[in-house]
């Protein structure tokens, strides 16, 4: 994650830009990992940074803090933010909590817990806002892979075209695929369907993050998926435009890439065909950190469709 330059550098710039809110103040880094954000805060002049980290990477964080001669300023606290005891309340909370599609395996609930327990009234949260976007896309690679079954007869003399429908069901399933969406495959301006204000959102509200969308296609194409991505915004102390960490396909790639939701059948659109609907993101019943996405959508004159998506359990796949 540190090698994700867009991610790490945006946090660095945001922390340095907010140095007026950080200088001489007490900071809590929720899920500090190697301590990189804690050290940025110390470099921005924090009086004290509590680097709270649940996992054993906390041991490396201690070493890194030492190596940078910041033992007096950055204190690594091993434990979950829900269980650790800090000696004081904090002026600033910083955290890199975002997961795939923003909320998959995200630790936002832990940040909210920390906010409610440890942030002083009027304190600052970095980042302070998250937004979710959706756009219809055409994934030509998926279509090419499916079309392959029509080419087998020419290649090997066996007609396997009956595999097409079966393969389509397998590929266009209800898994959320994390993939890089290329700009050419995006078929309309993305639509924002949800905004999360970190100062006010509650854990209860995160149980159903939803909103409506309306897109209009750029031109003739076949919609075979939606792409979902997010941005997070850092407050700006002065009149400078706020700093945005974006995972849009129109921006430089990050390790979050984009979440791709494949539809059953491709639907042809022409210029200005409306693509409308509603998205609801909610935690799965099996694990509160696993996200499900429900999309109701209408493309042009087609009848309303509904599809539920979830992220497959990759850990189970790798164990097999």
Ligand X SMILES: C[S@@+](CC[C@H](N)C(=O)[O-])C[C@H]1O[C@@H](n2cnc3c(N)ncnc32)[C@H](O)[C@@H]1O
Positions marked active-site = 96, 105
CB of 270 to ligand X, least distance (A): 42
Residue nearest to ligand X (CB): 31
CB of 171 to ligand X, least distance (A): 30
Instruction: Please tell me the count of residues contacting ligand X according to CB under 6 A.
Output: 19
Contacts 24+ apart (CB under 8 A), 286-290: 288/109, 289/99, 289/104, 289/105, 289/106, 290/104, 290/105
Whose Cβ is closer to ligand X: residue 21's or residue 106's? 106
Placement of tokens 């791709």 in the chain: 260
CB of 229 to ligand X, least distance (A): 17
Task: Return the closest-CA partner of residue 109 out of 9, 117, 101, 275.
Answer: 117
Q: Which of 14, 25, 27, 33 binds ligand X (CB under 6 A)?
A: 33
Q: Which of 27, 32, 186, 223 binds ligand X (CB under 6 A)?
A: 32
CB of 129 to ligand X, least distance (A): 18
CB of 44 to ligand X, least distance (A): 15
283 binds ligand X (CB under 6 A): no
Q: Which of 20, 55, 59, 165 binds ligand X (CB under 6 A)?
A: 55
52 binds ligand X (CB under 6 A): yes
Q: Which tokens is 250 given?
A: 């129109």
- Provide the b/e sequence for 262-286 (b: ≥16 CB within 10 Å): bbeebbebeeebebbbebbbbbeee
Q: How far apart are CA 256 and CA 249, in angstroms?
A: 11
Q: How far apart are CA 21 and CA 25, in angstroms?
A: 7
Whose Cβ is closer to ligand X: residue 46's or residue 266's? 46
- Provide the b/e sequence for 154-172 (b: ≥16 CB within 10 Å): eeeeeeeeeeeeebbeebb
80 binds ligand X (CB under 6 A): yes
Q: Which of 31, 127, 249, 283 binds ligand X (CB under 6 A)?
A: 31
Contact assessment for residue 87 and residue 22, using Cβ atoms and an 8 Å cutoff: no
174 binds ligand X (CB under 6 A): no
Range in contact with ligand X (rule: CB under 6 A) among 29-37, 64-72, 146-154, 239-247: 29-37
Q: How far apart are CA 118 and CA 304, in angstroms?
A: 46
Whose Cβ is closer to ligand X: residue 182's or residue 202's? 202
Q: Which of 13, 16, 57, 163 binds ligand X (CB under 6 A)?
A: 57
Backbone angles phi, psi at 238, to 5 degrees: -110, -150
Q: Which of residues 84-143 bind ligand X (CB under 6 A)?
A: 96, 107, 110
Q: How far apart are CA 120 and CA 112, in angstroms?
A: 13
Binding site for ligand X (CB under 6 A): 1-2, 31-34, 36-37, 52-55, 57, 80-82, 96, 107, 110
């Amino acid at each position: 994650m540190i090698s994700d330059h867009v991610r790490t550098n945006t946090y660095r710039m945001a922390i340095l830009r907010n140095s007026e809110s950080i200088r001489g103040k007490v900071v809590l880094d929720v899920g500090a990992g190697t301590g990189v954000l804690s050290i940025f805060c110390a470099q921005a002049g924090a009086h004290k940074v509590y680097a709270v980290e649940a996992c054993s990477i906390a041991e490396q964080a201690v070493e890194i803090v030492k190596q940078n001669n910041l033992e007096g300023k950055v204190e690594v606290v091993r434990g979950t933010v829900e269980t650790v005891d800090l000696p004081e309340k904090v002026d600033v909370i910083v955290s890199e909590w975002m997961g795939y599609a923003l909320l998959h395996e995200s630790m936002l609930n832990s940040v909210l817990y920390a906010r409610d327990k440890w942030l002083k009234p009027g304190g600052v949260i970095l980042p302070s806002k998250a937004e979710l976007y959706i756009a219809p896309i055409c994934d030509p690679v998926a279509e090419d892979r499916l079309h392959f079954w029509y080419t087998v007869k020419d290649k090997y003399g066996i007609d396997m075209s009956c595999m097409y429908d079966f393969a389509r069901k397998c590929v266009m399933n209800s898994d959320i695929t994390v993939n890089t969406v290329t700009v050419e495959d995006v078929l309309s301006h993305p639509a924002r369907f949800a905004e999360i204000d970190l100062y006010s959102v509650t854990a209860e509200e995160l149980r159903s993050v939803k909103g409506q969308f309306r897109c209009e296609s750029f031109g003739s194409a076949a919609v075979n998926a939606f792409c979902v991505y997010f941005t997070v915004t850092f407050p700006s102390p002065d009149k400078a435009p706020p700093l945005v960490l974006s995972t849009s396909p129109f921006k430089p790639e990050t390790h979050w890439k984009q979440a791709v939701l494949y539809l059953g059948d491709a639907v042809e659109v022409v210029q200005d065909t409306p693509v409308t609907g509603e998205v609801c993101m909610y935690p799965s019943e099996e694990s509160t950190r696993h996200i499900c996405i429900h999309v109701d959508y209408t493309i042009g004159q087609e009848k309303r469709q509904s599809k539920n998506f979830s992220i497959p359990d990759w850990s189970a796949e790798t164990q097999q």
